[in-house]
Chains A and B, each alone.
Chain A
């Protein structure tokens, strides 16, 4: 099956520094990737859609200057948390969609999400 990796899995940084998180699709190409932030009590918040070769699309309320996204190639997207603060501490997850083909023999484009294992960011 399709695999998405994330690096690092855990990072601790000091307030005011920047942290880069990498998301890679290992065995398929992903022109689009998604970045999520997961809060306590498990809810997932979509932060932005990363697009290869163009600017990321940010969800309302997400600061684009703080959460820099770069989709450098068809297999790599990076999220940089700039000037991190303790309130940025969270679990960050990326995903990449992969198309699956048919429904009962009839072509119906359906996209499954393949998720990275997540990055636990702690800002002290």
Chain B
């Protein structure tokens, strides 16, 4: 079956530090990959996506590159802010399916 594995959190960083949140996947085909972000007390919202190998998704200073050879989609940001504190979910969908598979989420805490 399909699955998404994320690094355990929480990830705790100081403001302006470099962020990496690891995500790897297993899938029976060629998935589309997503990162969603959940701010405290809110629902999830799409942060970025990539639909084919070597695509880079980017938004709000965050980036992730679809690496087919390592089945990974790691989330990075060069300089985090306190306002980036949230839970980040990696997800995939396969082919024309609208049913997502989510990772367990990684909590990010950024201190001033």
One of B38, B93, B104, B105 near A110 (C-beta < 8 A): B93
Nearest to B107 among chain A residues (CB) is A42
Residues of B within 8 A of A49 (CB): 99
Residues of B within 8 A of A32 (CB): 98
**Cα(A117)–Cα(B39), bound, Å:** 10
Stretch at the interface among B19-27, B45-53, B75-83: B45-53
**B64 in contact (CB, < 8 A):** no
Q: Are A111 and B97 in contact (CB under 8 A)?
A: yes
A residues adjacent to B (C-beta < 8 A): 4, 6, 32, 34, 42-44, 49, 93, 95, 97, 99, 103-104, 108-118
B residues adjacent to A (C-beta < 8 A): 32, 34, 36, 38, 41-46, 49, 51-52, 55, 87, 89, 91, 93, 95-100, 102, 104-105, 107
